[in-house]
Amino acid sequence: MHNFLPTFENLQQRKLPVRNTCRLCEASADTIDHLVFSCPVSLGLLDSVGLPPAPTSQQLNFAENFATWFMQVSKKQQTLIVITYWALWYTRNAIVHDDSTCSTVKVSTFILAFHLELDSLADVSDPTLKVKDVKWFLPDGDSLSVIKKLNSDIPDKSVISPIISDTKEASKNFELLTFSYVGRKGNEPAHELAKIGLQYREPRYWIEEASASVDLAQRERPP
């Protein structure tokens, strides 16, 4: 809202030698106004997740235009807007720093799945309910640093500290909870299943036999 994001426009104003071009569309300057209100990739992403484009007025600045739009939509759409621009900024940075590519289908699938998960969490009628007589093990952690943070008593100060904090708080609802690290090779079946899921926009359920690629990954998984 205060234009603190390190867009190339802002970096140029700080005298840094950067090419001020939007890496998503390669057709305009990399400004926060362009990213939110006019970038064709951004607008296509909004449309793919069912959000209307933001109406803008030349008499208003960025913060006023965004606030006006945000307050006009439903609470559900507000949540979707936050997730969408979070994912879009992450994708933009991946292109800039990792030479990644932008797949609108992949990003929109992530946004809708994340929003669906938030909705399911909101359906819990009593968030203070303690779960007893349940032993829940989470054996498939894929990031050693995340697992270490979850098992540490030291407050986390990294960029994912809100996620770490929320996870630790939620873990208090269980009588027994463990976080364990499993190497990438041991996670191949889950990784293969996730890749298959990204091909579809709608939710899908595994009922009987797994696909051949998942079955192969499971058989090749180290003991």
Domain boundaries defined on the chain: 8-122, 131-219
The tens digit of pLDDT for each residue in 183-201 reads 766 777 777 777 777 777 7
pLDDT of residue 125: 46
The tens digit of pLDDT for each residue in 93-122 reads 888 888 888 788 888 888 988 888 777 766
The tens digit of pLDDT for each residue in 118-174 reads 777 665 545 555 544 444 444 344 477 888 888 998 888 876 788 888 888 888 888
Is the separation of the CB atoms in 63 and 2 below 8 Å?
yes
Helix %, strand %, coil % of the chain (to 5): 50, 10, 40
Rounded mean pLDDT of the chain? Answer: 80
Is the separation of the CB atoms in 4 and 13 below 8 Å?
no
